[in-house]
Chains A and B, each alone.
Chain A
Amino acid sequence: MIPAAFDYVAPTSLDEALQALGSGDDVKVIAGGQSLLPILRMRLNAPERLVDLGRIEELRGVSEEGDSLVIGAMTTYSDVLDSDLVRQHAALLHKAIREVADPQIRHRGTVGGALVHADPAGDVGAPALALDAELVVAGPGGERTVAAGDFFRDLFETAVGEGELLTRIRIPKHTGWGAHYEKFVRVAHQWSIVAVGATVRVDGRTIAEARVGLTNMGSTPLRATAVEQALVGKPATEEAVREACAAAAEGTNPPSDLNGDADYRRHLATVLTRRAVLTAAGA
């Protein structure tokens, strides 16, 4: 399978990239290309022009900015996995990215590409949401910051508009928080049927704070706020966590497909949330 013909530009700076984006109607951005290239090969999309961000060094890398971590949108999954800063301050993101696809895909695929592609079964959205990430979006008029809670609009749709680019992800440091990403699949390197990311701050044996993100439980990543609230002040025990996690599917609208119907996914969400929270709490 070969994509339909397109023009190709590979800018080396953000300004050049924004100019290239503004140059026509039918333009697609390629980051790592691990989702886009299959789409182009199957001709589900056939843009006139591809703008490749792969040569823009300023969009890569992980750094610290006060109480936040900053991850360039073009940072690959494997570079995130190699980052001690991410492991230390955003353990949930680290755990989730370990579960993305397979090593070859993780060498090419990027965090920013995954967020803007916004596949509800992708593994980056739920951690970004749970960690209260801020997404920095650049456009012809300058930069704006979008909270993760406002970023995901619908299936494959985000707050990034035409002519705009996601440049970096800012994540408040969750230093010392336990984390776990529980992904349910039937075969290797499958998309999540359902996955749950949990990160908790345990004080003594009590859960002081909890954040829970759900993957593939609706058209966007979702936050299980009812569970988060129910967990606060609870002991990190199987019984207490089980009770709090019973509400995991509240407010969700999961799909039904060959892998399972919506009711099955709702049930999975409660089970996986319990496992994720217990592991994150070290219980």
Chain B
Amino acid sequence: MTRISVRVDGVDYTDEVEPRTLLVHYLREQLGKTGTVVGCDTSNCGACTVHLDGRSVKSCNVLAVQADGHEVTTIEGLATGGELHPVPQAFHECHALQCGYCTPGMIMQAVDVLRENPDPSEEEIRLGLEGNLCRCTGYHNIVRAVRQAAGAREGAQA
């Protein structure tokens, strides 16, 4: 076992983990943060996307020991003061999900896309989400939601 200290969604944790533990399993099984899901388990689908030091990663493709000393944000850490973050709010308003399984990862990657580019074009959004698969929506409303969230953020800043 290896001792790790990780800050997850603003809370510090110190735990013993087996080195082979994947970050997604640590989040779900040791911390109970089941908002982050395992989709394909092959690093293709992006459902398990979280932020590691502010940048999106596929948490099924990172070892928990690699996150030692770093900061993780999951879908559960996006809301502030009981208010939905603008991206999940836009997903809700634009009907950007059907079964909802890809949604946590899709939202975390959308947040990353907007961090890098606050005003992305439709094509830039599609490229930014290329590592996230959705088998229900056909992506159309997801792209709309990200555009709307970008607008909401601009509005908030103005």
Contact = CB atoms under 8 A, between A and B. Distances in A.
Interface in A165-192: 188-189
Contacts of A2: 20-22, 25
B101 to A, nearest CB: 17
Interface stretch (B58-66, B78-86, B88-96): B58-66
B43 interface: yes
A54 B66 CA distance: 8
A267 interface: no
Contact of A4 (B2, B20, B41, B131): B20
Given A33-B66, A107-B55, A5 B130 contact: no
29 contacts: A2-B20, A2-B25, A5-B18, A6-B19, A8-B65, A30-B63, A33-B61, A33-B62, A33-B63, A37-B22, A37-B61, A37-B63, A38-B42, A40-B20, A41-B22, A41-B60, A52-B65, A102-B132, A103-B109, A103-B112, A103-B130, A104-B49, A104-B61, A107-B55, A107-B56, A107-B57, A108-B52, A108-B57, A189-B130
Contacts, number: 83
Interface residues of A, number: 30
B46 interface: yes
A52 B131 contact: no
Nearest to A76: B55
Top 10 nearest A-B pairs (CB, nearest first) are: A102-B131, A8-B19, A188-B130, A3-B20, A107-B55, A104-B58, A104-B56, A102-B130, A104-B131, A37-B61
Interface string A35-54: 00110111000000010101
A105 B58 contact: yes
Contacts of B44: 189
The contact size tier of chain B is: 20 to 34
Interface of A: 1-8, 10, 30, 33-34, 37-38, 40-42, 50, 52, 54, 78, 101-105, 107-108, 188-189
Given A5-B20, A102-B131, A104-B61, 7 more contacts: A5-B18, A5-B19, A8-B19, A33-B63, A102-B132, A103-B112, A108-B61
